[in-house]
Amino acid sequence: MSLFITCPVESVERSTAFYKALGWALHPEMSDHNVSCFAIAPGQYVMLGSREMYASVGGAEELVGGLDTPSKVTVSFDLASREAVDEITERAGNAGGRIGDTDDYSFMYQRQFDDPDGYHYSPFWMKPDADPTA
């Protein structure tokens, strides 16, 4: 099963630059001036569509929020190390994203960032041999 997360954005060009700065791979066959598709893991994609394009698909016009509308989801994903979590979060900040909290639990290390359109991401690293129920 493939997973596509589609987000309406104010500027496809600005969003494309942000996600490239994260180090995610642009999928050119699924991208054009109205949408950029990034492969974030095998079979998992983030689609960044212009607000106009997003609103034209399936009668979703009322679902397109404004820049002041907070993200209604958090996209969480695991990485191989604490350093990898810090690295992508720092890249997000350097590319214009907003950096949020850092959580260091007994079973995982997690950071938060928002992209320029307010979409919320939470990369994390699960500590080896940690018991998340403890």
Helix (H) or strand (E) holding 27: none
Contact call for residues 91 and 22 (beta carbons, < 8 A): yes
Extents of the domains making up the chain: 1-59, 70-134
Fold of 1-59: 2,3-Dihydroxybiphenyl 1,2-Dioxygenase; domain 1 (3.10.180)
pTM of the model: 0.78
pLDDT tens for each residue of 104-129? 988 899 999 999 988 889 999 998 87
For residue 60, is pLDDT > 60?
no
Q: Out of 3.40.50.720, 3.40.190.10, 3.40.50.2000, 3.10.180.10, which CATH number does the structure's domain 70-134 have?
A: 3.10.180.10
For 96, residues 6+ apart whose C-beta sits below 8 A from its C-beta are 14, 18, 116
Residue 40 corresponds to which tokens in the numbers above?
């974030």
> If we measure between CA atoms, which residue out of 35, 32, 62 comes closest to residue 47?
35
